[in-house]
Amino acid sequence: MAEQPPPATYSERIEQFCVPVPLPDGTRAWLGPVLRSDREALAQEYLTLSEEAKWHRFLSAVPHLTPSMLDQLVDDVDGVNHVALVAFVETPGGVAPVGIGRIVRYEDQPDAADIALTVKDAFHNRGIATAMARELVELAPEGVTHLLTEVAADNPAPVAILGKLGEMRTLGTGEGVLDVEVDITGAGLPDREPEGGRLHPVLSAPWRRGMWLRDRVCDELGRMTRDDD
């Protein structure tokens, strides 16, 4: 994670930290790292979510982001085992942040990583999440060969995006959650049978709830730095 003083505008942030990415509709877009200066903005914007949206994002009741949650979402991003990116696009009103994604190595399963993507509702179906997913795979922690994650069973979009990254298998848990595993090296998925109704024991470990806090923060990323007024 960058340690320099935060840039004053989105344009400066893009110039200093971001790389351009092509979108299918020709919209100009960029991806860059989450900065420590994003911490307070994420906390404030989370409060704007409806209770339904909060439940859908975390698969549990999380009324607000606590300091320890923000430690995981922002301060724990090291660019090595936990990589987090912000997506910016050019809009009629100027450059704006519209998405956030992250890939996090499992401490107890070093060849696997979790992945999470969020894009503002108004920018769905523009290829932004796919672009973030592909860039995150390029930046995946060394030695990670496959992704292990879980998504809401009634939300098909993440499965479609993950399926573009490599060979994939899924398993319904019967609790409104779909386990997903994706090969990101081309070597094929590990040959093993599901255990305890899950694709992998790591997905049912008690500490996994902490991983959810690293997932999908909110659909409204808001003012992560000052606008280009």
- pLDDT tens per residue across span 130-171: 999 999 999 999 999 999 998 888 878 889 999 999 999 999
Assess whether pLDDT exceeds 90 at residue 112.
Answer: yes
Query: What tens digit of pLDDT does each residue of 45-100 get?
Result: 555 555 444 444 444 445 555 666 665 666 577 889 999 998 999 999 889 888 88
pLDDT band with cut points at 50, 70 and 90 for residue 30? very high
By C-alpha distance, which of 219, 216, 221 is closest to 57?
A: 216
pLDDT band with cut points at 50, 70 and 90 for residue 7? confident
C-alpha span between 109 and 183 (Å, rounded): 15
Question: What SS3 state is found at 208?
Answer: helix
In angstroms, the Cα distances linking 121 to 81, 99, 196 are 28, 10, 35
pLDDT for 39 equals: 66
Distance, C-alpha 50 to centroid of its chain: 20
Phi/psi region, residue 176 (left: phi>0; alpha: psi -120 to 50; beta: rest), is: left
Q: Where are the beta strands (DSSP E) in 81-167?
A: 82-91, 94-106, 109-119, 146-152
Number of Cβ within 10 Å of residue 112's Cβ equals 22
Question: What SS3 state is found at 148?
Answer: strand
- The count of C-alpha atoms lying within 13 angstroms of the C-alpha of 216, restricted to the half-sphere facing its C-beta, is 22
pLDDT for 176 equals: 82
C-alpha span between 225 and 153 (Å, rounded): 34
- pTM confidence score: 0.80
The two three-digit tokens of residue 195, written as one number: 């255990």
Number of Cβ within 10 Å of residue 91's Cβ equals 13
Which of 25-34, 133-142, 149-158, 174-183 is the least confident region?
Answer: 149-158
pLDDT, average across residues 186-199? 90
Contacts of residue 26, Cβ cutoff 8 Å, sequence gap at least 6: none
pLDDT, average across residues 199-215? 65
pLDDT, average across residues 31-50? 68
